[in-house]
Structure formats: C-alpha cells, structure tokens
Amino acid sequence: MRPSTVSAAVFFTAAVLLLVAVQDGHCAQLCMDSSFPRTINGSLSFCGYNGTSCCNATDDAAVQKQFAAMNISGTPCGDIVKNILCARCNPYAGDLFTVTTTERTVPLLCTTTAVSSRLSTNPPETTTTTTTDYCSEVWDTCKNVPIPDSPFQAPKGGAAAPKLTDLWQSTTEFCAALGSTSGDSSSPCLSGDGAAFNATTGGPTSLPVNGMCLERIGNGSFLNMAAHPDGSNRVFLSNQAGKVFLATVPAQSSGKAMEIDAANPFLDITDEVHFDNEFGLMGLAFHPGFATNGRFFVSYNCDKTQSATCAGRCACNSDVGCDPSKLGVDNGAQPCQFQSVIAEYSANATSGSPATATAANPTEVRRIMTLGLPFTTHHGGQILFGPDDGYMYFAMGDGGSVGDPWNFAQNKKSLLGKIVRIDVNTMPSGNTTSGWGNYGIPKDNPSSSDPTFAPEVYALGFKNPWRCSFDSGKPSYMYCADVGQAVYEEVDLVIKGGDYGWRVFEGTEPYTPLSTPGGNTSVASIDAIGPIMGYAHNAVNSNVGSASITGGYVYRSTVDPCLAGRYLYADLYAKSMWAGTESPEGSGVYNVTALPFACSKSSPIPCDVAAGSALPSLGYIFSFGEDNGKDVYLLTSKGVYRVVDPAECGYACPIKSSAPGMSQTPAASAGTAVVARDPAALAAMLVGVLVVLVSLLTSV
C-alpha cells in the first residue's frame, strides 16, 4: 500500500537527517565486504596489523603469497607495494577502497597528507607539521619497475600491465585515476602509514548524546574487570575479598546473562587478603603475553599481624623524612601494620596453553612489591599495563589521614600519592637498590633526568587515584580519576613527570591542610597540572552528602555511536555520570555533559529501580570495565551492567535509531541491525533508500 503524502514526507525527512548524520560520522571501521573488523590474537605475521583487522591469518598468508609472486621484495618499490596490498587488512578498508565505477584493486592514495607529531605535554601540543604526496611517491618509486601480476589497473577497467608507465604517462594521470582529490583531507586515503582522516570535522563525538542505556548481565559485587588477553569474549572479574573469576560475556542483544562459575574461582587468595572498608584485592592485570606465558598480577592489602608473608618496607621512612615510630596512625593501627602488595601468579596450564586455562596455580610466583602504609585509607591499588611500552603502572594514594599531613604526595622520594611505573619483564640481580621489591626501572622514568625522583615514580600529586585507563583509540592518553577531600573530584590526563597538585591544590583551588608534620609545598615551587574534567561536591545529587569519583574509559565500541570518543566517568554513589570530549582534538580542553542513564527494557536480569524514581538503582559504582570488543561495563554493588544500544531505553542516536514515536527508518529495522552499527555501510544503503523515497514522493 502506498504511504500517504504526510507519512512519506516525514519518512523522507527522517532519512535525509539520518544520512547527513552518517556523512558527519564517516570513517568508521568497516571492511571491504561491509563486515566489521575482527579482533585478532597477536599480530598478522606479514601485514603486521594487531588488535583489530579486516584480515585473519589465512588472508594475511594469501597477501604474502601474492606479494612473493611479484618478485620485488627488498626493493623500495616492494616496500610500497606491500603497504598497498596490506591496506585491505586495514580496519578502515571499506572507506580506503572507495566504490567507483570499477572495483578497486588498490586503495585511494593520498595526494596531500598532513603528518603531525606531539610532545608529551599537558595539554598535548603540536610541534611539527609536514606535507607528503604519497600518490606521487608511489609513481616516482615504481613507475619503471616491472611488477608481475601488478595490482594496478588501467582507468575504466583496462587490463593490468607490469609497469605503471605502460598505463599512464605522468604523475598527473596516475593520481587522477588512483589518488584522492588534491587537498581533500576529509576523504580517507592511504598515506603510507595508514588511513588519513580529517580530525576536525564531523565524527561521532559531534553527535548529540541523549542518554546511556544499560543492561544488567550479572549479579555479584566486583572491583576489577580485565579482558581475556586471548581476544575472546571472556573476561576476568575480581572481588574485594580476594577471589578472581573467569566469565563469558554474551553477545549484544542476545538476551543472555553473563556465564560465571561462582563456586570455582580462577584464583582464591582470601587467606592472604585483608578485607575491610578500603582494603582488599584492589587491582588485577594480565601480562600482554599471557596467552603464551600465563603471567598475571594482583594488587591487594595484607595485615602483618595476621600473615607471615605480609612484610615489606614502610612507606614512611627516613628517606622521606618520616619516622614510623613517631607516626600517629588512625584507628589504633600500628605503623605500617597494613601493606599494599603486588604479587605475580601464573595460569595452571598443565592441560594445555595458558589461554585455555580455567584456573591459576594458587602458589605465588614472586612478590613484585610490598609497601607499608602509614594510615588505613587512600591507597588506590589499581595496576595496569601500558599499551605502548608494556610497563606496569601502579596507582597509589597518599597513604591516608585527612589532608595528607606528611605531604607524601608532593615528596618525590615517596611512592605515596604517585603513579608508579615499573618493568616486570626485567628482574634485578641481587638486592634491589630501592628495597621495594623485584622489578626493573624503565630507563625513561622521570628519575633519569631528575635524580630527586624515586626511580619508580612516573607522576605525582595524587590524593587517591581511583581507576585509570588508557584510551584504546589514542594509547598515549592515560586518564586517572582522583578522589577529592571535601570540595572537588577530578579527572587528570597523566603525562610522565607531571605534578597534579595535591595537596597544594584540590582541583583548581588552593588547599590548606589541618596539620603539617611533614611540611608544606608552596604554589610557586611546583608547576601543577590542572584537571581536565571533574565536578564540585555541591553539584552532585547525593543523598549521603558526599562524593567520590570513579574513573572510566573512552568509549570505543560501535554499539552506541553517540558515545564514541567520549570519556565516561561517574560518582561512586551512583547518582550522576558524565561524558567528556576533547574539543578540538589535541587541545587538552574537554567539553563535559551530564549523562542520563536508564535500564534496557530487555535486560537479561531485571534492574532494581530506585525508590520514587524510574532510574535503575545501581548501588555503588565501584569501577568501569572494558572487554575485547571495547564494550563498556559498570561494576556496581548490585551487579555487572553493560552499555547497550540506546534505542533499547528510548534514547535516540541519529545514526543508530529513530527518535521515540517517529516512523522507523529502514536503518533501524531488525533486518539491517548489523549494517546500522556502521556509519559508512549505512550511508551507502541510505543512498538507495533515498532514491526510492524520492520516487514515492513524486508519485503521490
């Protein structure tokens, strides 16, 4: 039946708006066959892609065989042709091989590409910019090289020829056929290094965010989540009491709950862990090579009066001008009675490879670090590996008591109030000079240029960093949320050697401590780096009258395009969440918006509802998590929640679904749900849809 003029017009308008939004959000990950890139284990041996790729090992081997047949390996032209052949494995191959009148055998070659380098400063600063013409480079290098079974083809579908000069007469002709439009930086193209995209216009972060939709996929209270290093849909979860569990995460929209065997933990060290308010198993990290070496690490607290293995160096010591015997401790505890421990364990791989292990060896492999605590609060405890350098990062609080009275956070010789960076791949021989444990010191730690730093210190000036993460889209960006004292909660963009101000500042405001037995640090003596995001205590709707920040992740999943590229964080008391976007990119300036949230109508486990409210009652938000598919999770006192399609909560995302009550577009229909997750594929589909709609409208 033909639609009425009104409904057709509404339908057409919605589709046009949707197409515009898709065009703004171009350059999403998509393969040449309109499928999504898949997570790969390790890296491709020939093309070298790791993480996500449009090729698997079989595809990679086929590209290698094709290249070998050309017999140009080891030559400058060979290097270029290899790069071009491997472009089909690029996660953005769907855009690189732009559809033309004939099928492309090589990607669109950049004719003008801006290449920038940045210093590690806050905010990051662009220092150099150069311009290259990759298409001309290809021509100049390969024009006279015979290439058997050449991937290059003549314009208008002509036959391939061994030499470029057999087909084209000049750079101009060659680049007119295979290059991008000169100066068009908004089009994706191959620059020799990868896909070059316009970072200043469009993109997912220009889309409106109406809210975040959650589904409850698990019960239980957990502090840590770590994606299984094998790239699968499995994750590790740990609770505060001292148990680590292996769980399987269901596919999005499956309607299933997370599978976890609560009776058989992967590791149980509850007999070693001191579990109390701010004590317990606080951190969990898997070695990047876990799939083959089985190494993983836990960070926990112990009580030396209860455990013989709880012994280490006190963080309050003469090196930092502190005498433990004169230290006034809270709650009647002995000085350094409680310790922060980093310990290494190994997967029980007796029945196969570590990647297939379902349990760990319960015996500790080695003690990496033991750090005696001066007080009973503010000792962070998260551990994570840097994606670029492979080093372990340890987020350590100032050690406790109100206002860091001993000024540990500003003392460069103390490990308290710091982000610590160590090398767990290089174990020291003999006794360690620092006395903290078994590890190596990265050669470029701040102590290499400033001997006043303890060698383990990477950054300083933190009160109690609670949840740090690296942006998988920009691995050089390390975000850490730092819990405030009484006024302000902050998010910091952490750089090597950076000082984030505590206790000279709380947020951006000067802080005056109640007592100062450890002395003071003047404002003029430090170059404090201010927070990039945060919130004042009086701005949080909390019925308990306090606030405590929980750091999250930059959202890189394709499930909710309107959250893409935004850093998500929350308040512990689960009353408020926020999304922050760096704008313009590289500026260090962030736009922050409040993030409403709701529970999916099809949540596998029904969400609790807050009394007198339609909002889900999450309890306390302890941590965020991220799996291998980049989906984001909330670990709360009432269970495990996952971010899902916003449409399931009635939230509208222009490239995801229609607004509530609007006629549903084909892009949001069940039959095209997979395609609709990707802007590039959706744009191509909508072009055809619009042609049909125009025909319908003109015939009414």
Instruction: Dump the DSSP string for 614-631.
Output: SSB----EEEEEE-TT--
The answer to whether 34 and 94 are in contact (CB under 8 A) is: yes
Percent of the chain scored above 70 by pLDDT? 78
Residue with more model confidence, 249 or 656: 249
Q: Sort 584 into a burial class: Cβ within 10 Å, 0-12 / 13-18 / 19+.
A: exposed
Q: How confident is the model at residue 244 (pLDDT cuts 50, 70, 90)?
A: very high
Whether residues 508 and 557 share a domain: the answer is yes
CA–CA separation, 150 and 675 (whole Å): 33
Residue with more model confidence, 423 or 12: 423
- Dihedral of CA 260/266/271/272: which sign? negative
The per-residue pLDDT for 40 is 73
Whether residues 21 and 33 share a domain: the answer is no
- Rounded to a whole number of angstroms, the CA Rg of the chain reads 28
Residue 624 has pLDDT above 60, yes or no: yes
Domain that holds residue 684: 1-26+662-700
Three-state DSSP class for residue 636: strand
Mean pLDDT of 450-476: 96
Residue 613 has pLDDT above 80, yes or no: no
The per-residue pLDDT for 159 is 55
Closest CA to 624 of 413, 493, 516, 466: 466
The answer to whether 337 and 324 are in contact (CB under 8 A) is: no
Whether residues 155 and 260 share a domain: the answer is no
Whether residues 13 and 133 share a domain: the answer is no
The per-residue pLDDT for 273 is 97
Residue 129 has pLDDT above 60, yes or no: no
CA–CA separation, 244 and 180 (whole Å): 51
Strand 267-268 to 597-599 pairing: unpaired
Mean pLDDT of 225-254: 96
Mean pLDDT of 582-596: 90
Whether residues 148 and 227 share a domain: the answer is no
Mean pLDDT of 151-172: 75
Chain mean pLDDT for the chain: 81
CA–CA separation, 631 and 254 (whole Å): 14
CA–CA separation, 240 and 123 (whole Å): 35
Helices 57-70 and 76-85: crossing angle, nearest 10°? 150
The per-residue pLDDT for 656 is 58
Residue 598 has pLDDT above 80, yes or no: yes
Residue 353's region, left for phi above 0, alpha for psi from -120 to 50, else beta, is beta
Residue 394 has pLDDT above 50, yes or no: yes
From 224-228, 366-370, 661-665, the region with the lowest mean pLDDT: 661-665
> Hey, how many other C-beta atoms are within 10 angstroms of the C-beta on 559?
22
CA–CA separation, 677 and 385 (whole Å): 30
Of 149, 172, 199, the domain-final residue? 199
In a domain, 654, yes or no: no
Q: How confident is the model at residue 417 (pLDDT cuts 50, 70, 90)?
A: very high
Supply 102's token pair: 């004939």
Residue with more model confidence, 236 or 436: 236
| Residue burial 160-174, b: 16+ Cβ < 10 Å; e: rest | ebeebeebbeebeeb
Residue 467's region, left for phi above 0, alpha for psi from -120 to 50, else beta, is left
Whether residues 170 and 79 share a domain: the answer is yes
Choose from 466-470, 508-512, 676-680 the range with maximum mean pLDDT.
466-470
CA–CA separation, 282 and 297 (whole Å): 11
Q: How confident is the model at residue 575 (pLDDT cuts 50, 70, 90)?
A: confident
In a domain, 274, yes or no: yes
Terminus-to-terminus CA distance in the chain, angstroms? 12
Percent of the chain scored above 90 by pLDDT? 56
Helices 134-142 and 76-85: crossing angle, nearest 10°? 130
Angle made by CA atoms 458, 463, 464, in degrees to the nearest 5:
85
Of 155, 171, 199, the domain-final residue? 199
Q: What share of the chain is helix, strand, coil (3-state, %, to 5)?
A: 20, 30, 50
Residue with more model confidence, 29 or 204: 29
Residue with more model confidence, 357 or 161: 357
In a domain, 657, yes or no: no
In a domain, 227, yes or no: yes
Mean pLDDT of 336-361: 90
Sheet holding 549-550, edge to edge: 549-550, 567-571, 577-582, 590-594
Whether residues 623 and 674 share a domain: the answer is no
Q: Which residue shows structure tokens 């704008």?
A: 583
Mean pLDDT of 451-463: 97
CA–CA separation, 613 and 607 (whole Å): 13
> Hey, how many other C-beta atoms are within 10 angstroms of the C-beta on 682?
29
Mean pLDDT of 615-640: 96
Whether residues 13 and 54 share a domain: the answer is no
Please tell me the total count of domains within the chain: 3
Each residue's pLDDT tens digit, 470-480: 999 999 999 99
CA–CA separation, 274 and 303 (whole Å): 6
Residue 182 has pLDDT above 70, yes or no: no
Residue 541: how many CA atoms within 13 Å on its side-chain side? 7
Supply 33's token pair: 């066959």
Residue 329 has pLDDT above 60, yes or no: no
- The conformation of residue 277, written as its DSSP 8-state character, comes to T
- Dihedral of CA 155/156/157/158: which sign? negative
Mean pLDDT of 541-563: 85
The per-residue pLDDT for 681 is 38
Whether residues 68 and 121 share a domain: the answer is yes
In a domain, 548, yes or no: yes
Supply 101's token pair: 């009148």
The per-residue pLDDT for 29 is 65
In a domain, 387, yes or no: yes
In DSSP notation, 562-601 reads GGTTPEEEEETTSS-EEEEEESSTTS--EEEEE--EEE-T
CA–CA separation, 360 and 363 (whole Å): 9
Mean pLDDT of 344-371: 91
In a domain, 655, yes or no: no
From 2-16, 406-420, 505-519, the region with the lowest mean pLDDT: 2-16
Mean pLDDT of 38-59: 81
Closest CA to 381 of 397, 366, 365: 397
The per-residue pLDDT for 407 is 96
Whether residues 561 and 673 share a domain: the answer is no
Residue 603: partners with Cβ closer than 8 Å, 6 or more residues away = 214, 215, 216, 217
CA–CA separation, 120 and 126 (whole Å): 10
Supply 216's token pair: 């409850």
The per-residue pLDDT for 495 is 96
The per-residue pLDDT for 381 is 97
Of 176, 199, 222, the domain-final residue? 199
CA–CA separation, 581 and 533 (whole Å): 10
In a domain, 545, yes or no: yes
The per-residue pLDDT for 206 is 62
The per-residue pLDDT for 432 is 46
The per-residue pLDDT for 200 is 34
Whether residues 243 and 377 share a domain: the answer is yes
Q: How confident is the model at residue 190 (pLDDT cuts 50, 70, 90)?
A: confident
Residue 243: partners with Cβ closer than 8 Å, 6 or more residues away = 265, 267, 268, 269, 270, 281
| Residue burial 304-327, b: 16+ Cβ < 10 Å; e: rest | beeeeebebbbbbbeebebebeeb
Whether residues 581 and 594 share a domain: the answer is yes
The per-residue pLDDT for 242 is 98
The per-residue pLDDT for 322 is 87
